[in-house]
Chains A and B, each alone.
Chain A
Amino acid sequence: MKNMILQCAIIFGCLSFGELLVYLTGTKLPSSIIGMLTLTLLLQLGFVKLDWVKGIAEFLSFNLAFFFIPPGVGLMLYFDLIKAQFIPIIGATILSTILVLVVTGWVHQLTRKNNGVSKK
């Protein structure tokens, strides 16, 4: 992974731009999502070359799941609440996740066909 410093500068630059926007506008959007869109825009406009961020971006996105472990361990704080309402929490989460998966997929498949752009 060459030029780690530049790569970090770009990623954290985009992120802090997001933080700035949140600070200035008070928007409810998280800084990370704004930073992600900023990075996409900079790449699209050619201000940032793909080579400049490719290494760290691959490292971070391939290991995204790992960074969830600490908030996941936070489950231990809510064992009592979760035990008391286990069925509603788990039932609603499972059913809703299945619904979202299928509804999103179906609406996309249907509208894409009707739109006449189903060519691969």
Chain B
Amino acid sequence: MEFLKNELFLIAITFGVYHLSKLLQKKTGWILLNPILLSIAVIILFLKIVGIDYETYQEGGKYIEFWLKPAVVALGVPLYTQLQAIKKQVFPILLSQIAGCITGILSVVLIAKALGASKEVILSLASKSVTTPIAMETTRVIGGIPALTAAVVVCTGLLGAIIGFQVLRLGKVKSPIAQGLSMGTASHAVGTSAAMEVGNKYGAYASLGLTVNGILTAAITPYLIELLNL
């Protein structure tokens, strides 16, 4: 069964599982059957059953993960198409981003501490709201475990994609712009892709939230953590 470790086969599996997961969600319409969550679960299960470790999986997986960076660059297009609308409200956007960024870092750190998380786990959670490359880099800078951050970042993204719009409706956040921004700020690229499915306008503001919060989080987290003196 050495062939199961073939990196091209592992890539094919990833595409196939994701495609089937998407089909399944379309058919059932069940929101908890998030295609990424399901794919991750199925692939982990598969790897465990056939006895392949993560390092081997990444021989193929890295070629998929590679596209994360160009995909983030591509978000510049929806950002550009919404630029005129954004220019008219620089002030509300900037204020909401600063508020969202600080809320994100402080709340996750303080709640995790109150619930008894260890210091390295707390540090790995701090940047959970922003996109993987920024979050992992931020964690490395403040001394957490970058790989744990990557996992938590994915969970945060899925959480936002699955419950984000319901939470916003319950919290009486009504304007499409505020909803889009919140999705990108709280749940980075996964939240953005969920917003993109609702509409281009939502997607554009979500990618704005993802960008601004990414920049702010990378800039603020190290200082905020120092101030908190954990």
Interface residues of A (CB under 8 A from B): 11-12, 14-15, 18, 28-33, 35-40, 43-44, 50, 53-54, 56-58, 60-78, 81-82, 85, 87-109, 111-112, 115, 117
Which residue of A29, A33, A38, A93 is within 8 Å of B155 (Cβ)?
Answer: A93
B80 near A43: Cβ-Cβ < 8 Å: yes
B77 near A97: Cβ-Cβ < 8 Å: no
B96 near A111: Cβ-Cβ < 8 Å: yes
B178 near A31: Cβ-Cβ < 8 Å: no
CA distance A108 to B92 in the complex (A): 5
- Point out which of B91, B92, B196 has the most chain A C-beta atoms below 10 A from its C-beta: B92
A-B contact pairs, 6 of them (CB 8 A): A36-B73, A70-B57, A72-B151, A91-B115, A102-B171, A112-B89
Majority DSSP secondary structure for residues of B touching A: helix
Nearest opposing residue in chain B for A98, CB measure = B167
CA distance A71 to B116 in the complex (A): 26
- Point out which of A15, A36, A104 has the most chain B C-beta atoms below 10 A from its C-beta: A104
A108 near B181: Cβ-Cβ < 8 Å: yes
Q: A29-B218, A104-B100 are in contact. Are A92 and B117 (CB under 8 A)?
A: yes
A99 near B134: Cβ-Cβ < 8 Å: no
A96 CB to closest chain B CB, in angstroms? 4
A104 near B181: Cβ-Cβ < 8 Å: yes
A72 near B115: Cβ-Cβ < 8 Å: no
B57 near A73: Cβ-Cβ < 8 Å: yes
Interface residues of B (CB under 8 A from A): 14, 18, 35-36, 39-40, 43-44, 47-48, 54, 57-58, 61-62, 64-81, 83, 88-89, 91-93, 95-97, 99-100, 103-104, 107-109, 111-112, 115-118, 121, 125, 128-129, 131-134, 137-138, 141, 145, 147-148, 150-157, 159-161, 163-164, 167-168, 171, 173-175, 177-179, 181-183, 185-187, 189-190, 192-193, 196, 203, 207, 209, 211, 214-215, 218-219, 222
A74 CB to closest chain B CB, in angstroms? 5
A93 CB to closest chain B CB, in angstroms? 6
CA distance A31 to B96 in the complex (A): 24
Residues of B within 8 A of A15 (CB): 69-70, 73
A65 near B108: Cβ-Cβ < 8 Å: no
B138 near A78: Cβ-Cβ < 8 Å: no
CA distance A74 to B54 in the complex (A): 7
B65 near A108: Cβ-Cβ < 8 Å: no
Nearest opposing residue in chain A for B67, CB measure = A67
Which residue of B18, B47, B178, B203 is within 8 Å of A69 (Cβ)?
Answer: B18
Q: A28-B138, A67-B71, A70-B65 are in contact. Are A104 and B156 (CB under 8 A)?
A: no
CA distance A56 to B73 in the complex (A): 11
Residues of A within 8 A of B163 (CB): 98
Which residue of B40, B129, B192 is within 8 Å of A72 (Cβ)?
Answer: B40
Residues of A within 8 A of B150 (CB): 71-72, 74
Which residue of A11, A28, A63 is within 8 Å of B73 (Cβ)?
Answer: A11
Q: A14-B76, A44-B83, A112-B175 are in contact. Are A67 and B99 (CB under 8 A)?
A: no
CA distance A54 to B93 in the complex (A): 26
Q: A101-B186, A106-B173 are in contact. Are A76 and B103 (CB under 8 A)?
A: no
